[in-house]
Amino acid sequence: GNSVTQMEGPVTLSEEAFLTINCTYTATGYPSLFWYVQYPGEGLQLLLKATKADDKGSNKGFEATYRKETTSFHLEKGSVQVSDSAVYFCALSPGSARQLTFGSGTQLTVLP
Amino acid sequence: GAVVSQHPSWVICKSGTSVKIECRSLDFQATTMFWYRQFPKQSLMLMATSNEGSKATYEQGVEKDKFLINHASLTLSTLTVTSAHPEDSSFYICSAPGLLGSYEQYFGPGTRLTVT
């Protein structure tokens, strides 16, 4: 079956530090890959997505590249801000089914 | 953007009682909604797919008689945890997909259920 393995947290960084959250997946076929973010007290929000190999998703300074050869979709940001503090979830969907398989989530705290 | 609400945001109930959780799409219609369960520091696990006007589709291992899902309108799906036990304590989250082809899903803020 499908599965997503995500870097364990929590992660604590200083403002303007570089962020990487690792994500690898196991799936049949060619899934779509996502990063969702959950701010305190709010629902999950789509941060970025990639629907085919070598696609790069980007939003709000975050980036992730769909690497089929390494089955990875690592999240990166060059300079984090305090407002980026949240829980980040990597997820996949088998095509258009839209049923998501999630990683365990990574809590990010950015200190001023 | 589209908003999905859940009610209540948290609930405490006694063993053996039933609890209903509502999921509403506030500014759009949703013929399909998804129900997830999240244990502390673990993934969201898909429980079932709620379909407006028809029976829900449950994931393997999810007891359909225990987790009753009703999707009676295009903006409301309900999850009822029947005869709740402490092991049912969890965080329940619903979502509704966006336009076909958009890959977007809109998530509710979740409901914390504690069974004593």
State the Rg of chain A over Cα: 13
Cβ contact (<8 Å) for B105 and A32? no
Beta-strand pair A86-93/B32-38: unpaired
DSSP 8-state code for residue A72 = B
Count of CB atoms situated within 10 Å of the CB of B73: 13
Residues of B within 8 A of A98 (CB-CB) are 32, 34, 97, 103, 105
Gap from B14 CA to chain A (nearest CA, Å): 25
pLDDT of B71-80, one tens digit each?
989 999 999 9
pLDDT of B57-109, one tens digit each?
999 999 999 999 999 899 999 999 999 999 999 999 999 988 776 777 899 99
Closest CA in chain B for residue A107: B41
Q: Is the pLDDT of residue A108 over 60?
A: yes
Instruction: For B81, list phi and psi in degrees, rounded to 5.
Output: -90, 110
Distance CA B116, CA B114 (A): 6
Chain A touched by B57 (CB under 8 Å): no
End-to-end, the C-alpha distance of chain B in Å comes to 37
Which of B42, B106, B107 is the best substitution to test chain A (most A C-beta atoms within 10 A)?
B107
pLDDT of A10-53, one tens digit each?
999 999 999 999 999 999 888 999 999 998 878 889 999 999 99
- AA identity, residue A52: K
Distance CA B109, CA A43 (A): 4
Mean pLDDT of B10-22: 97
End-to-end, the C-alpha distance of chain A in Å comes to 41
Tell me how many residue pairs between chain A and chain B have CB atoms under 8 A apart. 54
